[in-house]
């Protein structure tokens, strides 16, 4: 127990001595003055700079060179000779020839269409009576086309809207068609044993297509739903 206490005391004493020695050494170092070496270097620096600057200024001094005379620039000579122009260039530069005058067109007068005997007979048979009390013009049978030499007769179409055995009924149906805006006429048909019949035709039309258009309008009228198209032979 006593030996241990002695060791601790020795350790504390050693630490104290080390601390004391370190403090003495630090005080000596701080009391010493620094070496005065910096001011001479700072004083010599301007001189060094002046010497370098003077040397550089001497090296960069411009060197004067003698002026050399300029060489005269040659001016091309202008010749008084006329300029020759080739024939090809003159022809190409010249204006193109004027276009030929336009001929005045000759218009031929249209030839009026010839009226066939069939058309005249059908149109004559479908004329309205001149007086209100006058009966419609009645013809026997269908108008027959007249064949001409060297001319082809075009087929025409009519619409049969009514067929009756009494003249009064036929006249009433014809007037009803005319009132609706359709050209209509009465034709007689002798059927032999069946007697004389009166047929009401609307037309004629130049094509079956045109007759078909009118047929649709006629069938919409009351009492004429069984109307049909018939070709004129």
For 138-183, write each residue's pLDDT tens digit.
444 444 444 444 455 578 999 999 999 999 999 999 999 999 999 9
* Residues 17, 97: Cα–Cα separation, whole Å: 133
pLDDT tens profile 189-208: 888 888 899 999 999 999 99
The residue with tokens 């910096």 is 38
H or E element that contains 20: helix 2-31
Contacts of 203 (CB under 8 A, 6+ apart): 122, 156, 157, 158, 159, 183, 211, 214
Pairing of strands 138-140, 184-190: parallel
Taking only the tens place, the pLDDT of each residue in 97-139 is 777 666 665 655 555 555 554 455 545 445 444 433 444 444 4
- Rounded to a whole number of angstroms, the CA Rg of the chain reads 69
Structural domains in the chain plus CATH codes: 138-232 (3.30.70.1070)
Spatial distance between the Cα atoms of 205 and 71, rounded to a whole number of angstroms: 106
């Amino acid at each position: 127990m006593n030996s241990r206490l002695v060791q601790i005391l020795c350790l504390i004493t050693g630490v104290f001595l080390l601390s004391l020695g370190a403090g003495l050494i630090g005080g000596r170092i701080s009391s010493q003055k620094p070496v005065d070496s910096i001011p001479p270097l700072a004083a010599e620096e301007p001189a060094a700079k002046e010497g370098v600057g003077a040397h550089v200024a001497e090296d960069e001094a411009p060197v004067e060179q003698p002026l050399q005379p300029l060489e005269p620039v040659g001016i091309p000579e202008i010749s008084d000779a006329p300029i020759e122009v080739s024939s090809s260039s003159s022809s190409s530069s010249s204006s193109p020839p004027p276009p030929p005058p336009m001929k005045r067109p000759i218009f031929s007068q249209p030839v009026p269409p010839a009226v066939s005997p069939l058309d005249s007979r059908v149109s004559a048979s479908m004329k309205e009576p001149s007086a209100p009390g006058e009966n419609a013009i009645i013809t026997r049978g269908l108008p027959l086309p007249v064949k001409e030499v060297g001319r082809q007769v075009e087929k025409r179409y009519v619409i049969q809207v009514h067929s009756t055995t009494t003249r009064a009924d036929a006249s009433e149906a014809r007037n009803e068609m005319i009132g609706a805006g359709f050209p209509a006429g009465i034709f007689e048909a002798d059927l032999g044993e069946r007697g004389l019949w009166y047929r009401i035709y609307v037309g004629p039309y130049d094509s079956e297509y045109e007759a078909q258009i009118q047929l649709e309008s006629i069938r919409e009228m009351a009492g004429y739903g069984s109307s049909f198209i018939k070709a004129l032979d």
